[in-house]
Structure 1
Amino acid sequence: MLISKNVRIGRIISGTGRYAALDLLICVAAFLVNEYVVSRYFVFPAVIPTILGTALAFFVGFNNNQSYDRWWEARKIWGAIVNDSRTWARQIIQYTTSSESLSEAELLSLRRIAVKRHIAFLYALKKNLRKSGVSEHDKFIDPEEFAYVEKDMNVPNAILSYQSKLVEDLYKREAIDGFQFMEMNRMVVNFCDEMGKSERIANTVFPTTYNYYTRSFIWIFIISTTMVTANSIGPWSVLFGALVGYVFLTTHSVGQALVNPFEPLPTGVPLDQITRTIEINLLQMLGETDIPEPVQSVDGEYVL
């Protein structure tokens, strides 16, 4: 996620330089075709880029709005996960009490297991969303449990099943009452809902036809604009067409950068930072001393 309010010129050039070069090349080709071929037979009608430009403005705007909606929904989901994670740890620590069937030492152990298992759930969910091959959740659960959940197609869901069993066990052993059981079970349900919403966004492909046709129409618009203006301003039409095309291509690419919000990109949702922040908060609530460092930004521009 971008955190800097200032955008460096170097990043703009590196991100859009390829489009600018191709745009200029297409405009030069369009001017030459119009100068030596098209103009010999007819004058390219100005109505084509006029109508096409108006339609493209609406189409690119619609695409960008839909892309931002996907990104913003993903960010809200993980904002809710942050809040629910803290609530879950608070409930585990504050709601539970020892009983005749649950000693104080065993209760302390269960608290640590429940909180650390939730951290494992977060890292497993991040791995699924990013389709990463790196496992970070193994160190938060015992080896036997890790081996069991890894057999499941959906590892985060398997971890939640363990959490649900733990809540039921706490209730049966009178460590929590009926109201506390309902509240803690509701947190597990919330995590399942948030996991499902995240998976829906990650697994729903943004229609490729939107990107394909929009990009194709932009190139047609660039070519037609260059040919139309060539009739009145000559070679300067190359610069004019390239400038107009650059605006449309850059605007479209900005929207496409938000289509997959869970990808490890500067414009994506910062799952590394969020999961690490939750991990730090929960370990501190447990009273742990071995606390990891927060995720640092890259050149002060973005965090992943």
Structure 2
Amino acid sequence: MLLRDRLSLVEVFRITWKLDIMIILVCTLAYVADTYWLKRHISIPASITGVLGTALAFFIGFNNNQAYDRWWEGRKIWGALVNDSRSWARNLLHYCDASKAGEVPHIARRMIFRHIAFLYALKATLRKTTDPYYEGYLSKKEAEDVSGSRNIPNAILDIQAADLQQLRMLGAVDGFCFRELNTMLAAHCNHMGASERIRNTIYPPSYLFFTRVFIWFFVILNTFMLAESIGFWSVIFGWAVGFVFHVTHQNGNALMNPFEQNPMSLPLDSISRTIEINLLEMLGHQPLPSPVEPVGKQYLL
């Protein structure tokens, strides 16, 4: 996630220089084709490019709106996970009656540690990586038990449910507290499922493919039209128009998969580390991990 609300010209050029070269090359070829061949046969009315540009702008706007909805939904899910994680730890620490059995505080602490493992395992699953960091918050047996699962975060929740039932059997939580804790456990599962839904539901490739095709068609047609009135300057203006449309479309593409590791994606590393620090601090654990540092002081992963 970007930390600044503006980009320098150097950063813009570093991001778009390949696209700039491609647009200039296409516009130059279109200008040459119009100058030495096309204008002898047909004159392209300005109204055609005007109508096409308007329709294309609406189409790109729709794509970007849908992409931002996916990104924002993912941000709301992980924002809810932050709050639910703190509440989960607080309830386990203060609602469990430690006087019922000597094992109760240990069970509550390991359930909080296990929740941190759940978050890091979920992060690794969403990013399709094999980060074993979550294993540090599980016992050796638990790590072995969940390693063979196709859905490690879900397997961790299964162990959480078993321990929650054990707390109830020990009389450490009454029926009301058990119900509340079980509701929170179900909420963790719901957040996991919602995140997996976003990750596993690809954006229709036909939208992306035809949008790119239509943009290039518009850039070429616009250059044809401008070449008849302003000559070689049509290459510069064609580049300007193509740059606006292409970059606007690329901004939406960068948000379509919010769990990937790029500057525009959600900062899952930072969010997970924040929750980890909060929960360990509630347990009185020392030393606490350091917050995730921005990459180049520009964005968080």
Indicate whether the TM-score tops 0.5: yes
Report whether the alignment pairs 1:235 with 2:248: no
Q: Which amino acid aligns with 1:154?
A: N
Per mean C-alpha deviation after superposition, the further-off stretch among 75-84 and 143-152 is: 143-152
Q: Partner of 2:83 in structure 1?
A: 83
Secondary structure, in 3 states, of the residue corresponding to 2:52?
A: helix
Q: Partner of 1:72 in structure 2?
A: 72
- The superposition leaves residues 75-133 of structure 1 with CA deviations (integer Å, 9 ceiling, x where unpaired) of 00000000000000001100001244x21xx2221122100000000000000000012
Task: State how far apart, in whole Å, the 1-side matches of 2:193 and 2:40 are.
Answer: 61
Runs (5+) with no aligned partner, structure 1? none
Q: Partner of 2:141 in structure 1?
A: 144
Shift in Å at residue 300 of structure 1? 2.1
Secondary structure, in 3 states, of the residue corresponding to 2:255?
A: coil
Q: Partner of 2:27 in structure 1?
A: 27
Secondary structure, in 3 states, of the residue corresponding to 1:257?
A: helix
Task: State how far apart, in whole Å, the 2-side matches of 1:207 and 1:124 are.
Answer: 28
- The superposition leaves residues 197-223 of structure 1 with CA deviations (integer Å, 9 ceiling, x where unpaired) of 000000110111111100100000000
Matches within 5 A, 1:270-281: 270-281=267-278
Specify which of 120, 123, 128 is matched with residue 126 of structure 1: 123
Task: State how far apart, in whole Å, the 1-side matches of 2:271 and 2:98 are.
Answer: 33
Task: State how far apart, in whole Å, the 2-side matches of 1:207 and 1:11 are.
Answer: 30
Report whether the alignment pairs 1:172 with 2:169: yes
Q: Percent identity?
A: 48
Shift in Å at residue 11 of structure 1? 1.8
Task: State how far apart, in whole Å, the 2-side matches of 1:235 and 1:12 are.
Answer: 25
Secondary structure, in 3 states, of the residue corresponding to 1:6?
A: coil
Matches within 5 A, 1:176-215: 176-215=173-212
Task: State how far apart, in whole Å, the 1-side matches of 2:6 and 2:238 are.
Answer: 28
Q: Partner of 1:223 in structure 2?
A: 220
Q: Partner of 1:298 in structure 2?
A: 295
How many residues of Structure 1 are paired with residues of Structure 2 in the alignment? Answer: 301
Shift in Å at residue 5 of structure 1? 2.2
Shift in Å at residue 252 of structure 1? 0.5
Q: Which amino acid aligns with 2:217?
A: I
Question: Which segments of structure 1 move beyond 3 Å, counting only runs of 4 or more?
Answer: none
Q: Partner of 1:47 in structure 2?
A: 47
Alpha carbons 2:126, 2:195 under 8 Å: kept: yes
Shift in Å at residue 3 of structure 1? 1.2
Shift in Å at residue 299 of structure 1? 2.3
Secondary structure, in 3 states, of the residue corresponding to 1:52?
A: helix
Task: State how far apart, in whole Å, the 1-side matches of 2:135 and 2:9 are.
Answer: 41
Specify which of 155, 159, 181 is matched with residue 156 of structure 2: 159
- Please give the TM-score of this superposition, normalised by the length of structure 1: 0.97
Task: State how far apart, in whole Å, the 2-side matches of 1:186 and 1:169 are.
Answer: 16
Shift in Å at residue 4 of structure 1? 1.2
Task: State how far apart, in whole Å, the 2-side matches of 1:276 and 1:230 are.
Answer: 56
- Give the superposed CA RMSD: 0.9
- The superposition leaves residues 237-293 of structure 1 with CA deviations (integer Å, 9 ceiling, x where unpaired) of 111111111110010001100000000111101000000000000000001012110
Task: State how far apart, in whole Å, the 1-side matches of 2:295 and 2:4 are.
Answer: 10
Report whether the alignment pairs 1:255 with 2:243: no
Task: State how far apart, in whole Å, the 2-side matches of 1:109 and 1:174 are.
Answer: 15
Secondary structure, in 3 states, of the residue corresponding to 2:132?
A: coil
Alpha carbons 1:99, 1:173 under 8 Å: kept: no
Task: State how far apart, in whole Å, the 2-side matches of 1:13 and 1:233 are.
Answer: 27
- The superposition leaves residues 170-192 of structure 1 with CA deviations (integer Å, 9 ceiling, x where unpaired) of 01110010000000001100000
Alpha carbons 1:45, 1:228 under 8 Å: kept: yes
Runs (5+) with no aligned partner, structure 2? none
